[in-house]
Amino acid sequence: MKKKAIGQSGWLWTALASVVAFIYFFPVLFIILTAFRSRSDTLATPPKWIFSPTFENFYHIFFRSMANSTEYVATGFHVYFFNSIYISGMSVLLALLIGTLAAYGFSRHPLRGNDTYLFIILTTRMLPPIIVIVPIFLIFRITGLAGTYTGIILMYTAFNLPFSIWMMKSFFDELNTEIEDASRMDGASERSVFFGVCIPQVKAGLAATSVFALILTWNEFLFSLLLTNKLTRTMPPAMARTIGGEINVDYGLLAAMICLFIIPIFLITYLLQNQLLRGVTFGTIKK
Amino acid sequence: MKRSSGFLAWFMDPKRRGPMLIAPAIIVLLLVNIIPLMWSFGLSFFKYRANTLKLPNFSWFYSYEKVLTKDNIWESLQTTAIIVAGSVGMQMILGFLLALLFASQFPLRKILLMFVLAPMMLSNVAVAIYFKLFYEPEFGLLSQFVQSFITGEMYVLLSTPAGALIGVIFADAWQWTPFVMLLVLAGLVSVPKHLYEAAEIDRMSWWRKFTTITFPYVRSLLLLAVLFRTIETVKIFDLVFILTNGGPGTATETIGVLVYRTAFQFFRTSNSAAMGYILLFAVIVLTSLYLYVIKQRESEEI
């Protein structure tokens, strides 16, 4: 028998959700349509909803014509694309690994002054990044980390840690410790209690945390702008450079970039959705 | 567990399990966050401008005094507070409603959910540039909508202080509501199903099920969402900078924009550091209050 989640609703619910989703998605839809519009259609008033789609904006991301020639030159955008995937992926994995361990520590083996540690960890996220960027920039220059993958991955790992720790701790806190104690009684080692009992119960939390961390890292602009070089630059600063000033924004080109930019994150979120929505079947109440 | 000797035993000692689990995180944060933080904190006590060759000059609280008396920091703190309250409030309400909508099983749920999550995946810069276009009086969707259905005239949202604030709040809330929704949803799906089955047997009303089962499970995540969205929104910069550039006048000049201007347009490096720490102080006080209240209420319940 199929179990009810909260309520098993039918197509009527789908219709309602579709309307809501469409309204919510509308600005994004506009951006996607703009990516396929030709230059002359981009700013038409009223907006053209029906038009013949072109791929010229996508082509121009990778190949641009030089100032006064008709020759097209590669822009190197694929390198930035790869960098974004590599740097975001590595730093999110690291933050999740270190963060989950720490969260488990904070939740199950509290130290003296546990809350103070947690609070200090949180305060590192409170300062405007503009303030800390100057010393970080200097430290990275001295240690030779500036412009390297290691440097920016380290930076983003630290950037994601506070959130990962707090998120995972709140999930660990919700678990029932009786199951853990029972498996300890049965002779399970600490390691298998952690991996075998706790981790499966916080899968939804891991999925949610990694999606958020990934999205924040993927979109991060300032650190990447200042701490990477031509070879390690990620997409957000590369996009900003291509677009140039704010005055004459090439909306079509920007829209095409946004489309490319959103695809990897969209796919990963879609794949993690199962974990996110399945929920915990054997979790029991704590209190 | 088998007892090994010496160094390894010291590490594996159950007494040190807590510290050992936390150590990697603390080391990374110390290296990349806390040391630079101390450095710039030190800098805020010097008179220093990043665009000159003059060496920093120790000046005690000069920068703080200057910032608190001369610059319009109070006004921008107020603006920031309005934006935070408006935007985070909107995110909470809409996010909770959306999560309730998507918590039940229905056909096409997975695909529809992706559409709702999409705004969060856009970069801030992209959202800002496109919302500027949407609000634009001549080509903008908003203006065209108002023109053709309501007044018949062009509509300029960003020209009045209130309008500009609403514009910023709306764009920010639109982008980050999915974040709240996802957190709440993660909480909703982790509610054990047998509780609902038991409630079904007891013929509980919808409202009672919500207040006694659903809400307690989601509450801690909702509070976490408030905390994180508040911290992030206080720092709001890219969106405001591109959308309104702090204007009209200084109506939307948030603390993030003010710090940026002080640091990179007027090159008052130490003043901007001082501002950052005043902001940090304010946020720390507010956060501790918030966490304290939550703790109090939790201990009351138990």
Asked if residue A61 and residue A29 are part of one domain, the reply reads yes
Please give the CATH number for the structural domain made up of B73-252: 1.10.3720.10
Going by the DSSP 8-state scheme, the letter that residue B49 receives in this structure is -
Separation in Å, CA of B6 to nearest CA in chain A: 21
Asked if residue A150 and residue A50 are part of one domain, the reply reads no
* CATH code for position A173: 1.10.3720.10
Interatomic CA distance for residues B188 and B209, integer angstroms: 12
Confidence check: pLDDT of A283 > 50:
no
Confidence check: pLDDT of A177 > 90:
no
Query: Is the model more confident about A216 or about A9?
Result: A216
Domain limits of chain B?
Answer: 73-252
* pLDDT band of A280, cuts 50, 70, 90: very low
Asked if residue A132 and residue A17 are part of one domain, the reply reads no
Are A236 and A260 within 8 A, CB to CB? no
Among the partner-chain residues A46, A158, A219, the one whose CB lies closest to the CB of B32 is: A158
Asked if residue A261 and residue A237 are part of one domain, the reply reads yes
Domain containing A151 equals: 77-278
Asked if residue A88 and residue A64 are part of one domain, the reply reads no
Q: Report the chain A residue with the minimal C-alpha distance to residue B126.
A: A258
pLDDT one digit per residue (tens) for chain B, 302 residues: 445 556 666 666 677 777 778 888 888 888 888 888 887 777 777 776 666 666 666 767 777 777 777 667 888 888 889 999 999 999 999 999 998 888 877 788 888 888 888 888 888 888 888 888 888 777 777 777 777 777 767 677 777 888 889 989 999 999 999 989 888 887 787 777 777 778 878 887 778 877 887 787 788 778 888 888 888 888 888 888 888 877 787 788 888 888 888 877 777 777 777 888 888 888 888 888 888 887 777 776 65
Interface test with A, best of B26, B101, B106, B131 (most A CBs within 10 A): B106
**Given an 8 Å threshold on Cβ–Cβ distance, is B186 in contact with A208?**
yes
Number of domains chain A contains: 2
The pLDDT score that the predictor gives to residue B57 is: 67
Asked if residue A88 and residue A219 are part of one domain, the reply reads yes
**Given an 8 Å threshold on Cβ–Cβ distance, is A3 in contact with B193?**
yes
Q: What is the 3-state secondary structure (H, E, C) of chain A?
A: CCCCCCCECCHHHHHHHHHHHHHHHHHHHHHHHHHHCCHHHCCCCCCCCCCCCCCHHHHHHHEEECCCCCCEEECCHHHHHHHHHHHHHHHHHHHHHHHHHHHHHHHHCCCCCHHHHHHHHHHCCCCCHHHHHHHHHHHHHHHCCCCCHHHHHHHHHHHHHHHHHHHHHHHHHHCCHHHHHHHHHCCCCHHHHHHHHHHHHCHHHHHHHHHHHHHHHHHCCHHHHHHCCCCCCCHHHHHHHHHCCCCCCCHHHHHHHHHHHHHHHHHHHHHHHHHHHHCCCCCCCCC
Among the partner-chain residues A20, A43, A125, the one whose CB lies closest to the CB of B101 is: A20
Which of A94-108, A250-264, B213-227 holds the top average pLDDT? A94-108
Separation in Å, CA of B85 to nearest CA in chain A: 17
What is this model's ipTM?
A: 0.77
Asked if residue A211 and residue A135 are part of one domain, the reply reads yes
Cα within 13 Å of Cα(A40), Cβ side: 2
